[in-house]
Amino acid sequence: MTREEAVQEVLLHLPDDTKKELANISKGDLITLHHGLGTFIRNGLGLWKYYAENPKVEVGETADSESLILIRETWEYLRTHSD
């Protein structure tokens, strides 16, 4: 799954009010979503399993870091595609 596909998968499962809240959060506050939305992403997209099976994907890449990238990319998508 590409990151673009992963963002679309995340968006598919977010309620509209959550999408609005996410679009309006500041970039600096995205880290606060690590435990809520980040957990959903890590579990829902199977990131733990993927990185356990592919431990040497790239130095520094982990399920945690990937979920933060996907949070940021989902946020960017919502900010550029909001009504």
For the chain, give the number of residues.
Answer: 83
Q: Using the predicted structure, report yes or no on whether residue 11 has a pLDDT greater than 60.
A: yes
CB crowding 40-69: b at 16 or more within 10 Å, else e: bbbeebebeeebeeeeeeeeebebeebbbe
pLDDT of residue 12: 95
pLDDT of residue 52: 82
Q: pLDDT, tens digit, for every residue of 31-72?
A: 999 999 999 999 999 988 888 887 666 656 888 989 999 999
More confident residue, 58 or 3: 3
Q: Read off the pLDDT of each residue in 9-31 and give the average, rounded to a whole number.
A: 94
- Domain extents in the chain: 3-80
CA 63 from chain center: how many Å? 10
Going by C-alpha positions, the residue among 66, 61, 15 that lies closest to residue 38 is 66
